[in-house]
Structure 1
Amino acid sequence: MKIRRYFRGSGRVLAFVFVASVIWLLFDMAALRISISDANSQLLKERVVKEREAVRQRATRVTHVAFEHPVQKVDAGGGEGVQSLDEVAQVYRRQHRKQGGDQKQGLVGRSNALRSVAPKQDAPQKDRLPAKKAVDLQANGERTQAEKVAVKATLPGVVSNATKVTPGARDEKHAPLPPSKNNLHNVGVTVQATLESGDPKAKEKVEFEPKAMSPKPESHVKAVATRAAKAPAKPKDVEARKEKADETLPGGDPNGAEEPPKPEDGVAKDVETRKEKADETLAGDDPNGAEEPAKPAAEPGLRQGAAPVGNSSAAVTRKPGVHRVYSLDVTHAPRKANAVGQFGQAAAVPHGKEDESKKRWDEGHFNVYLSDQIPLDRAIPDTRPQTCGENLVHDDLPTTSVIFCFVDEVWSTLLRSVHSVLNRSPPHLLKEIILVDDCSTKDYLKKQLDDYMSQFPKVRIVRLKEREGLIRARLAGAAIAKGEVLTFLDSHIECNVGWLEPLLDRVYLDRKKVACPVIEVINDKDMSYVLVDNFQRGIFKWPLVFGWSTLTDEQIKKNNMTVSDPIRCPVMAGGLFSIDKKYFYELGAYDPGLDVWGGENMEISFKIWMCGGEIEIIPCSRVGHIFRGQNPYKFPKDRQKTVERNLARVAEVWLDEYKDLFYGHGYHHLLDKSVIDIGNLTEQVELRKKLKCRSFKWYLDNVYPDMDTPLVKAEGLIFNRGLRKCLTVQKGSLSFETCDLSKQSQHFNYTWTRHIRQQDLCVAPQGQQRGLTLDLCGKAKPSLRWFHKSSTPDLGEHILSESTLDRLCLEAGLIGAAIHLKDCEPNNAFQKWQFTHYYVQ
């Protein structure tokens, strides 16, 4: 009853308001939940779209499988996402066929006689290999906006004078850039059919028409723009050039694109200036960096220089002088996707052929049987960094003579080497290929080789009448070369696409630069193509042993390096490099006193650096090489003695006082000239003086500063633990006195040649009484050599005589200043010695 009364009158109104409020709150909560759900759904959709885009972008990049340093395996077939070799072949052909138009390397006349293939930019997703694949069949694939902003200035310490053409250097090297009417834009270049042709005289023509593409790093743009920068720009044209540069250089993109570093020389101090300079060199690119390719000029119905329908940007007037690197890969017929080793894949010996494969191994010390099964023009993955496909090179690059030296080389390997050069080199740059036969004994390398190579007019064969060795064979090839640049290659290689132009461009920019390709690996067992880690350079360790070393993260970061920047190389491998021919002879070529093989890479490397040149590894040039565990060739003389003799010549001419480090690392016996005659060095010493070459210390300080090269192994006072005194020289004899660092008479060096030396005097045994004396130092005297810190562990602190047959140690006398030799006793404190400073333990 009380409740009923409460709801009468005003109470009913309150109850109604309460119920209405609850209902309204429930509706409001429902609406809010729906709104949140819609927002979450939209965010989820955006996230999915971003993840798909990221996956699509990663699919276009080169993915390295984590193999042990320094090489990484390239897997070109099978695996997740690729069902068969046919699919790999289809991807390879689709990508290269499309990019063939973009590069304006269209086929003229016949469709199947020659196939010009190159990676395609912005290829459809279905044409790409999965992101997990390590093979790079599309090195120039789709890139993010940030990746396109790659206008990097090369800093000192990475590549000195990387792209600067010094005043007068152009006149000294090559002719200036020609006017546009003589440019490759208007020239059709004839390509000789390079593979198994029935008619040796048959030729197919390919027309090249370079065009301006997206710019390479600014360090290159500055050198390319040197000519254009001489003419002052009109003020009214500045804004137009800025707008044009905005289309070609996405440097001002607000979407997180990295700001390019400022060059130290002040040529371009900000983004706007870089845009102006870039436009003086490049013009007419589509803002998206993927301009629709123009049809070949020779196509019927299209006049010279006219833009095809649907290609508005092609009609824009371009500055002559540069073009994108060609990605040639010519084949006589459509490639067989299922051929053994195709696309750089690992090959397998068929069942039942294992014995034959083993028997033929010694022919080349690699799998000769598999090499013979692989096509001579097999495709290999384009392993260059992504930006290399967009790099610009000069139109008027010098021509080159490619020189192969061989002796008893495997037939299929030699031919594959030659075909890779013919198929992947711009014909107008390839002057000739010179094959120097160093007196081979195999019958197939005589008339059969002559007959085969007769179908290629650019191939010349030189036969030496007697075995001269690699060094003199190269000199013989260089002597008859007609190209402006000499390119030396080993006879068991495969050149990758776009390999030649980056090398020639570096030599063009500075004739004293020696350019080396990145040497990748062709596996000696399964003939697969293996790519190497980035930032590799050639170095040496004592005693002049060549090796590879990776730049540290600190060095890369300090110099702001990218994967496509040239790398300063203290020592080149020696087998693969390009050098200006005139400069090669100005340097004296190779030392003619070097025999056969060994040490020639050290000699020419030191000579180049110390006499004003530079050696660079060019990451955008890639060449595969078969590395064998054993050299299959016979040396006219003892191999070890030949290499030792060559290295000793290099040490005596180029290492100055550091030659002791060479001898001290296992070559003490070479100090005795009666053991081995290294020949007359007069001409080489005079050549070094004539060229005004720097010292080896300069080389270590400026070219290879991270090399640890102490001149002595230990120095300072020589403290005797038992006597608690130090060795000293008094009136020309040895004695002891209280240790005093200020006295020069107590300072000794323990040298790399194992001498205990003070100035020109060395500690030496005396007579049968086992006494000690001081004698004039002579490196060839075994009696002056002492072992310290290099003998058995229990005698680590002892000083042992090397000249005595018995194991005798230096001992301080108990009374007076006596010092003599006695039988070694591990626990005798009077036989334990310590220098003040040790540089090598």
Structure 2
Amino acid sequence: MKIRKFFRGSGRVLAFVFVASVIWLLFDMAALRLSINDVNSQLLKELVVKERAAIRRQATRRTHVENRVFKHPVQKVPVDLRNDVKNSKKYENIAEVYRKKQKPQPGIKEHNVAQNVANPKPDSVTLHSQKSDRKVNVKHMVEGLNGREVARNQKEATLNISKTMSNSDKVRFPKAVTQTIKGTVAKDNPQNGILSNVKDPKLTKAPSGVQEERHVITKVPQFKEESQKEKNKENIKVSSHKKTNETAKPGLQQQLPKNDTKVQPKPDSQVAAVVNNAQQNTGPLNKSDPYPVKTQIQLTPQHMAQNVEPNQVKTAFVREKGGLHKVMALDVTLKPRDARAVGQFGQAAAVPKDKEQEVQNRWNEGHFNVYLSEQIPVDRSIPDTRPALCSENMVHNNLPTTSVIFCFVDEVWSTLLRSVHSVINRSPPHLLKEIILVDDCSTKDYLKEPLDAYMAKFPKVRIIRLKEREGLIRARLAGAAQATGEVLTFLDSHVECNIGWLEPLLERVYMDRRKVACPVIEVISDKDMSYVQVDNFQRGIFKWPLVFGWSTLPEDVIKKNHMKDRDPLRCPVMAGGLFSIDKKYFYELGSYDPGLDVWGGENMEISFKIWMCGGEIEIIPCSRVGHIFRGQNPYKFPKDRQKTVERNLARVAEVWLDEYKELFYGHGYHHLLDKSMIDIGNLTEQIQLRQKLKCKSFKWYLDNIYPDMDAPLVKAEGLVFNLGTRKCLAIQNRTIAFATCDLSNQNQHFNYTWLRLIRQQGLCVVPQGLGNPVSLEPCDNTKAQQRWMINTNKLLAEHIIVESTPRRMCLEASSKGDGIYVRDCFSGSDLQRWQFTHYYAQ
């Protein structure tokens, strides 16, 4: 009845309003939900469209092998090529596998000009287009021509090139083709040349980065020098080289367009053509003396390899102060590469059955397949294994020059030459100051006069010969002392540098002179000489006792830092054979420890020195160098090899490891503690150098540079509990006894060290013979009689065993708990079972 009263009169109206409001609210909520769903659907649809468009754009620029999956640190590049293929068309797709490219996008990306001032033979100009496979071979004839013919043929050649260019290229490079062609014909003498199309039906289709056509022999007149005003207005310029004497060396000029969508140099920019060592190699330029030059122009994608003839050309790179450019993708060859050559494109080479015995007989010459190495061209093409978009990276124009230093002793002829050729063929010449070959007193005859004669063809190669065997470390110091480049680049003498390897290294050093840049070291198989790709995010580390190794960066670190496969990778320890370092900084660090002998430990020494004294070591994924990894070190040591390496590592440990040096000695190098057995030399200068550089501690290095390294200072610590007596060891009045276990009592705390001592403060538990009680003596790391072994096997897992005697004796508590003795080991006795509170290592 009470409820009905509320619904009479005005109450009924209020109830109706309330119900209507609730219904209206429900309708509003439903409508709002529908509208939100519509918005979300629209946003999702737009997102999907954008992602698909981004994938398409990415696919057009992708330069890596699709669906590449690595389950191991080292993985071979998937290639299926038959050596007996006779039809050259079957090589058309090799470029996509070995250069990791999709179909090139329309547009002109690069412009390279190769000039030969040393060879008066007629040569060619070849123009390439990205959009089509058509080629325009431009032949210049010098005699019997008039000015009208020159002009008419110039115009025809320009139109032919323009037809092969996309509309976007015509916008980006409105004058590039015209200026290039005009630059090849002397303006002051129209009688000197003509442009005409010459087709060669015998062209061989080869991968990008490999010579794609035969040279058409022509004569090209001298380039006329342009004014500074004209240089600022035009995108592509050709400078002039003149011959002044018979000893004039070849020269090459190159220029790459900037990466902007519109190539328009600023009016106030200072652009200059820089020729590396031009005065040294070509002599002063005589503008009035025309001289025919050998020229080859390629208009190809920026990331494609360039092919010009080394030793007959030099590169002048047009740079703008403070400007940037894409990484140059050079791949020079002595002559058009033979696509069917053994091992070409980094393929595995097969040994004929009748040559297998020869392979075995010659294996010890280098501890790899020397026979196959000799069958492979010295300038073979290898796969471009850089991560995606490395070819799009921008580097500074004014990078420092470098001296590349190879140290060798009795190196195999073919691998040494291939190493040198790979540097010459794939390094921007204006950055390559010199190549220094340091011969560490080789005994092979072919490394004497024949090597001198061969390298005489390369103006930038110098050979330094040491009078007696010094070893790798001092040989490198000898090479560094003679180097004139701003950056020192050390390489092993059995490598193959990959496309675009040098500029990324120099860029890191340029950005911070304290950075030491290392390339990704890929594998050249010692058995079949194939080029093997390595997995990403591999860094150099060490394990005790200072053993170098490779480890993948932890996945959580990669995700946390949003790392990409082309990002520089901090490297706790470098491999030591391949790296670039600022020359002045190298000597500020004290270079290598000159007390290190021959080989071994130098990579540890310089790595610790760099990190602890303010520098950084980085692996640069966009720089790749293949290296022959051999199962055995083929080099001879003046002294015992093992003792030499051990001595070097001991020097490193004493100078740089601080209190952690016990971990080094405790992993099998106890004998190095006896100075009467081995002399590691005077360490005073190295210790003073560390103090002068104000280097950080090794603990700082472990905490900040290599935090995932397991390096406990002791193997076990805490109370030493005896299961038989249920009591713990204690020190009372400088004697050892038993006491009720008490964690707060410091007299009951012991350490079991890496040198196998049971230590309490400066006192150690020492056995006194079978049946006798143990005693306490001042700890001495060199005394073997103070060492105990723990956890040696399952039967004696909790026993403490005397190490210095052949008879197995164990630490045992008396049955009454009033003494500690040494008895014959018995696995069933609880009086011989001991437990530390904490164990850190076995």
Task: State the match for 1:370 in structure 2.
Answer: 372
- Equivalent residues in 2 for 1:136-155, closer than 5 Å: none
Residue 116 and residue 570 in structure 1: after superposition, are their counterparts in 2 closer, same or farther (change >3 A)?
farther
Task: State the match for 1:473 in structure 2.
Answer: 475
Task: State the match for 1:218 in structure 2.
Answer: none
Task: State the match for 1:761 in structure 2.
Answer: 763
- Equivalent residues in 2 for 1:794-809, closer than 5 Å: 794-809=795-810
In the alignment, the residues of structure 2 paired with residue 72 and residue 744 of structure 1 have an alpha-carbon distance, to the nearest angstrom, of: 55
Task: State the match for 1:69 in structure 2.
Answer: 72
- Equivalent residues in 2 for 1:337-736, closer than 5 Å: 337-736=339-738
Q: Normalising to structure 2: TM-score of the pair?
A: 0.71
Correspondence 1:105 to 2:112: yes
User: Percent identity of the aligned residues?
Assistant: 66
Query: Aligned AA for 2:628?
Result: I
Query: Aligned AA for 1:608?
Result: I
Determine helix, strand or coil for the equivalent of 2:607. Answer: helix
Residue 516 and residue 137 in structure 1: after superposition, are their counterparts in 2 closer, same or farther (change >3 A)?
farther
CA offset digits 1:95-144 (Å, max 9, x no partner): 899899622224457999799999x98889xxxxxxxxxxx9779xxxxx
Task: State the match for 2:816 in structure 1.
Answer: 815
Task: State the match for 1:211 in structure 2.
Answer: 258
In the alignment, the residues of structure 1 paired with residue 833 and residue 131 of structure 2 have an alpha-carbon distance, to the nearest angstrom, of: 73
- Equivalent residues in 2 for 1:265-284, closer than 5 Å: none
**Shift in Å at residue 209 of structure 1?**
3.4
**Shift in Å at residue 88 of structure 1?**
2.8
CA offset digits 1:179-210 (Å, max 9, x no partner): x98x998685999xxxxxxx997635242234
Aligned residues: 640
Task: State the match for 2:286 in structure 1.
Answer: none
Residue 58 and residue 565 in structure 1: after superposition, are their counterparts in 2 closer, same or farther (change >3 A)?
closer
In the alignment, the residues of structure 2 paired with residue 559 and residue 116 of structure 1 have an alpha-carbon distance, to the nearest angstrom, of: 46
In the alignment, the residues of structure 2 paired with residue 200 and residue 76 of structure 1 have an alpha-carbon distance, to the nearest angstrom, of: 46
Correspondence 1:839 to 2:819: no
Residue 112 and residue 333 in structure 1: after superposition, are their counterparts in 2 closer, same or farther (change >3 A)?
farther
**Shift in Å at residue 54 of structure 1?**
10
The question of whether the paired residues in 2 share the 8 Å contact of 1:106 and 1:116 is answered with no
- Which runs of at least 4 in structure 1 moved beyond 6 Å after TM superposition? 49-56, 82-85, 93-100, 109-118, 120-124, 136-139, 183-187, 199-202, 289-293
In the alignment, the residues of structure 2 paired with residue 60 and residue 426 of structure 1 have an alpha-carbon distance, to the nearest angstrom, of: 21
Determine helix, strand or coil for the equivalent of 2:661. Answer: helix
Residue 189 and residue 741 in structure 1: after superposition, are their counterparts in 2 closer, same or farther (change >3 A)?
farther
Determine helix, strand or coil for the equivalent of 2:702. Answer: helix
Query: Aligned AA for 1:480?
Result: Q
In the alignment, the residues of structure 1 paired with residue 774 and residue 687 of structure 2 have an alpha-carbon distance, to the nearest angstrom, of: 38
Q: Normalising to structure 1: TM-score of the pair?
A: 0.71
Task: State the match for 1:21 in structure 2.
Answer: none
The question of whether the paired residues in 1 share the 8 Å contact of 2:108 and 2:301 is answered with no
Determine helix, strand or coil for the equivalent of 1:402. Answer: strand
Across the aligned residues of Structure 1 and Structure 2, the Cα RMSD in angstroms comes to 3.8
CA offset digits 1:664-713 (Å, max 9, x no partner): 11111111111211111111000000000000000001000111111110
Unaligned runs of at least 5 residues, structure 1: 1-45, 125-135, 140-179, 192-198, 216-227, 229-288, 296-316
CA offset digits 1:610-632 (Å, max 9, x no partner): 00000000001000000000111
Query: Aligned AA for 1:738?
Result: T
**Shift in Å at residue 354 of structure 1?**
1.2
**Shift in Å at residue 770 of structure 1?**
2.3
The question of whether the paired residues in 2 share the 8 Å contact of 1:718 and 1:747 is answered with yes
Identify which of 62, 75, 81 aligns with 1:78. Answer: 81
Determine helix, strand or coil for the equivalent of 1:418. Answer: helix
**Shift in Å at residue 413 of structure 1?**
0.4
In the alignment, the residues of structure 2 paired with residue 442 and residue 291 of structure 1 have an alpha-carbon distance, to the nearest angstrom, of: 42
Determine helix, strand or coil for the equivalent of 1:793. Answer: coil
Determine helix, strand or coil for the equivalent of 2:818. Answer: coil
Query: Aligned AA for 1:739?
Result: C
**Shift in Å at residue 60 of structure 1?**
5.4
In the alignment, the residues of structure 2 paired with residue 137 and residue 749 of structure 1 have an alpha-carbon distance, to the nearest angstrom, of: 65
In the alignment, the residues of structure 2 paired with residue 692 and residue 755 of structure 1 have an alpha-carbon distance, to the nearest angstrom, of: 33
**Shift in Å at residue 63 of structure 1?**
3.4
In the alignment, the residues of structure 1 paired with residue 595 and residue 420 of structure 2 have an alpha-carbon distance, to the nearest angstrom, of: 30
The question of whether the paired residues in 1 share the 8 Å contact of 2:516 and 2:616 is answered with yes
Correspondence 1:751 to 2:753: yes
Determine helix, strand or coil for the equivalent of 1:360. Answer: helix
Query: Aligned AA for 1:821?
Result: V
In the alignment, the residues of structure 1 paired with residue 239 and residue 463 of structure 2 have an alpha-carbon distance, to the nearest angstrom, of: 28
In the alignment, the residues of structure 2 paired with residue 508 and residue 583 of structure 1 have an alpha-carbon distance, to the nearest angstrom, of: 12
The question of whether the paired residues in 2 share the 8 Å contact of 1:112 and 1:334 is answered with no
Determine helix, strand or coil for the equivalent of 2:730. Answer: strand
Residue 811 and residue 85 in structure 1: after superposition, are their counterparts in 2 closer, same or farther (change >3 A)?
farther
**Shift in Å at residue 396 of structure 1?**
0.7
Query: Aligned AA for 2:671?
Result: H
In the alignment, the residues of structure 1 paired with residue 487 and residue 55 of structure 2 have an alpha-carbon distance, to the nearest angstrom, of: 48
Query: Aligned AA for 1:105?
Result: N
- Equivalent residues in 2 for 1:208-287, closer than 5 Å: 208-212=255-259
**Shift in Å at residue 352 of structure 1?**
1.2
Determine helix, strand or coil for the equivalent of 2:434. Answer: strand
Query: Aligned AA for 1:78?
Result: L
